[in-house]
Amino acid sequence: MARRIGVGFVGSGFIARFHARSWVGVRDGDIVAVASPNPQSRKEFAELCRELGVGEVAGYDDVAAMVRQSDVEAVWITAPNHVRVPLVQAIVDEVRAGRSKVRAIAIEKPLARNVAEARKLVEMVEGAGLLHAYLENQVFAPSLTRGKEIAWRRGAALSGTPYLARAAEEHGGPHRPWFWRGPLQGGGVLSDMMCHSVEAGRYMLTPPDRPDYLRPVAVTASIANLKWSRPRYAELLRRQTGGEVDYGRAPAEDYASAEIVYETADGDLVITQANTSWSFSGAGLRLTFELLGPEYSLSINTLEPESKIFFSRNVQGPAGEDLVEKQAAEQGQMPYLGDEAHVYGYTAENQHVTAAFAQGRMPRETLRDGLLVTQLLMAAYRAAEAGMTMRFAPDNLDEFVPLVQQDRWSPRQIAERAH
């Protein structure tokens, strides 16, 4: 068994803490450091890691100082999208100068705000000779990995390969103001959440032993703001974010759908469909996955778990997220997940990536996968802006920046683009 590696986190917010909770199931690494400009947040992250028994964490306000810590061998980047390029540049500079023992970097989804930034990250990391991982948790979710294994082993082997995959992620909106802002996050819900659904669909349609089986050939998409640009909700969002987000002036999309056509290595055409929403009202975060083949189908819905709990109207208390991520109610019959980090795939993801890094090999999802996902997302934005199906031409996407990311998009375009 490979020795345990020391992991430093860049970022100490919501997603970093999800990773920390998953770490109780990780055997090949310890969390030993965190870099964050927010002293209170990094203190809370360190205390959480200590409580969970996943590492004694040293705190830094400077990422370069963190990677000079002698036992930091791998870095998990969970910081906001708009600061990732300079953060990775700082890490690479320390590695090249011989001041850091870091030999691997893992970057949280989505990889970047656009293709130019994604390509820059890949070039920097590969140029420094580092191992790398793209942190897409949903393709490690146990229900999805087990379902895919059964579908391909039994259904595809006996009746033919699958031809349609659907994936959706829906909730009522992000936790932090920067997620809502196109220039900082890279767009709206398409950038923030469709990165999950696009990769989950590609994963389901890919044979277990043929990673290069699919080639994207065409993309069509639609984006809209269905809820949060309505005056009542735009004002609510403005108040909730302390005035940082103004969807009456500069909205991002809160709904997106996309269809990607792939050609398989066998010459067949297959399709993935992705739907994402920040305008969903339900018990909490809902993830759904479907896979269809000639004589079989797979269906997963995380809001239909084995466990539910009921609270009468007489049980009243403060709002929280103690039952399910993005929880939207505290009364009635509510689903709950025994271990969200496990169900959503974070535990298996971090088990796999730390083991790969400890053994000196590339993991299953690398930054090259993150680059492809970014290209597909930008192709979807371009198709949505044009109102037509676009041939997938990745070389033509390097300079493309979505209108949403430029604060120049109007929700009326969904109707105005019609030919």
**Best CA proximity match to 139, nearest among 193, 195, 192, 196:** 196
Q: Is 99 among the domain residues?
A: yes
pLDDT score at 159: 96
Q: Is 328 among the domain residues?
A: yes
Helix, strand and coil content of the chain, in percent to the nearest 5, comes to: 40, 20, 40
CA distance 367 to 135: 9
Per residue, the 3-state secondary structure of 4-28, as one string, reads: CEEEEEECCCHHHHHHHHHHHHCCC
Same domain as 186, residue 254: yes
Q: Is 414 among the domain residues?
A: no
The reported pTM is 0.93
Residue 345 Ramachandran class (φ > 0 left, ψ -120 to 50 alpha, else beta): left
Query: How buried is 194 (Cβ within 10 angstroms: 0-12 exposed, 13-18 middle, 19+ buried)?
Result: buried
* 164 CB neighbour count, 10 Å cutoff: 16
* 3-class state of residue 199 by DSSP: helix
For residue 104, report the phi and psi dihedrals to the nearest 5 degrees.
-155, 145
CATH of the domain at 130: 3.40.50.720
CB 90 within 8 A of CB 61: no
Q: State the Cα torsion 246-248-252-258 to the nearest 10°.
A: 150
Q: Is 80 among the domain residues?
A: yes
Same domain as 172, residue 122: no
Q: Is 33 among the domain residues?
A: yes
pLDDT score at 334: 73
Same domain as 57, residue 14: yes
The DSSP result for 283-340, as a single string, is SS-EEEEEEEETTEEEEEETTS-S-EEEE-TT-------SSSTT---SSEEEE--S-H
Q: Is 415 among the domain residues?
A: no
CA distance 120 to 117: 5
CA distance 88 to 126: 12
CATH of the domain at 149: 3.30.360.10
Report, as ranges of residue numbers, the positions in the chain whose pLDDT lies below 50. none
pLDDT score at 315: 73
Same domain as 166, residue 93: no
Same domain as 166, residue 287: yes
Beta-strand pair 29-35/5-10: parallel
**Residue 53 one-letter amino acid:** G
CA distance 260 to 220: 7
Q: In Å, what is the CA distance from 76 to each residue of 217, 287, 405?
A: 32, 24, 25
**Residue 376 one-letter amino acid:** L
Same domain as 98, residue 30: yes
Q: Is 56 among the domain residues?
A: yes
Q: Is 220 among the domain residues?
A: yes
Same domain as 90, residue 9: yes
DSSP letter for 37, please.
S
Same domain as 147, residue 67: no
- What is the number of domains present in the chain? 2
pLDDT score at 326: 63
Q: Which residue has 């890949």 as its token pair? A: 122
Q: In Å, what is the CA distance from 119 to each residue of 63, 122, 198, 374, 395?
A: 21, 5, 19, 9, 11
Same domain as 204, residue 153: yes
CA distance 44 to 48: 6
**Domain ranges, residue 110:** 5-137+347-364
CA distance 147 to 291: 9
Same domain as 310, residue 202: yes
Same domain as 286, residue 261: yes
Same domain as 124, residue 243: no
Per residue, the 3-state secondary structure of 44-68, as one string, reads: HHHHHHHHHCCCCCEEECCHHHHHC
State pLDDT tens for residues 217-266. 999 999 999 999 999 999 999 999 999 999 999 999 999 999 999 999 99
pLDDT score at 330: 66
